[in-house]
Amino acid sequence: MEVTLGRPAALARQTTAPFLRLLSVASCPSHNTSQRRPYSFFSSLTRPPPNYPGHVPLTTLEKAALAIGSGLISLKNPRRGDLIATFAETTCTPYFIYRLRDAMLSSPTGRRILRDRPRITSTSLNLPHLRSLPPNTVGHTYISWLDREGVSPDTRAPVRYIDDEECAYVMQRYRECHDFYHALTGLPVVREGEVALKAFEFANTLLPMTGLSVFSLVGMKLKERERFWGVYGPWAVRNGLRAKEVINVYWEEVLEKDVGELRRELGVEVPADLREMRKREREERKRRGAVARGSKEGGWL
């Protein structure tokens, strides 16, 4: 099945082109590309054909350079979703994406997902229909979260740098299910919520990118770091480890299911409402500021 998405491929090419130009490899003797190994070295003149639409075959050196470059820049600027996607793809082999694929193969539902290759888009899910579902359903919980956070399911970057075509779909499926994990846990898309969810995903999937995302804590406010270590970090580890493999949820088939029942089946508990906690914190800061201003004004009288 074609592994592409609506995001323009030109954006990813523009982002990664500088790394690739720096890593131009000298010409090497040609070889039989039909027997190519995924981590063989080849030059731009002998680069093998793509294994699926949008695939960009890379050498080991090129993947390493992209991983380092995209990882460092995305840590500094966590809003660069294109670089986070690149880092995820260049660090998930040779082990992690195969482990996740095998987890799907070991599950009857996971095998069906791999066979059917469904895609999660605003069209495939029929968002207007989800709004008509009862509030306690998975579908209504999902669309309510999308509406509240101003998020669309059509913005996931296409997989480009994973050589194995089936594993490329596994990564694509993980990306497109990410918002369902948000809806299931109630975590918002603010940086603090993303870090908490990535910690949960790391404990559940072991994808290196999700683990690296936790290091963006260093750029967060002291109160946010304290809240992560005291509340959301322990929640993420506990739930990520004990929960079933969330990659094996056939979301398209459980949209009318009670969301509480699904959480119990998966072993996922809802953490404290992060938006509410942040709201109370802002109100408390305003109250203290008002008291401080009143005290200062009173001192002048």
What percent of the chain shows pLDDT beyond 90? 63
Instruction: Give me the chain's average pLDDT, please.
Output: 84
The dihedrals phi and psi of 249, each to the nearest 5 degrees, come to -80, 125
Which one, of 84, 91, 56, lies nearest residue 70 by Cα? 84
**pLDDT the model gives residue 45:** 63
Going by pLDDT thresholds of 50, 70 and 90, the confidence category of residue 33 is very low
Going by pLDDT thresholds of 50, 70 and 90, the confidence category of residue 30 is very low
**pLDDT the model gives residue 168:** 97
CA 291 to chain centre: 42
Going by pLDDT thresholds of 50, 70 and 90, the confidence category of residue 75 is confident
Query: Which residues, 6 or more positions from 237, have their beta carbon under 8 angstroms from its beta carbon?
Result: 199, 203
Instruction: Name which of 99-108, 153-162, 210-219, 225-234 the model is least confident about.
Output: 210-219
**pLDDT the model gives residue 77:** 75
**pLDDT the model gives residue 281:** 83
What average pLDDT does range 103-124 have in this prediction? Answer: 96
Q: What is the pLDDT of residues 154-198, one digit of tens each?
A: 989 899 999 999 999 999 999 999 999 999 999 999 999 999 999
Dihedral, 233, 73, 187, 231 alpha carbons, nearest 10: 20
Tokens 């670089």, residue located: 83
The more confidently predicted of residues 277 and 250 is 250
User: Within 10 A of 268 (CB to CB), how many other CB atoms are there?
Assistant: 21
Give the residue extent of every domain in the chain. 9-26+39-281
Extract the annotated binding site for Zn(2+).
178-179, 182, 194
Tokens, residue 269: 């508990």
Q: What is the DSSP letter of 220?
A: S
Extract the annotated binding site.
178-179, 182, 194
Q: What is the pLDDT of residues 251-278, one digit of tens each?
A: 999 999 999 999 999 999 999 999 888 8
Give the pTM. 0.80
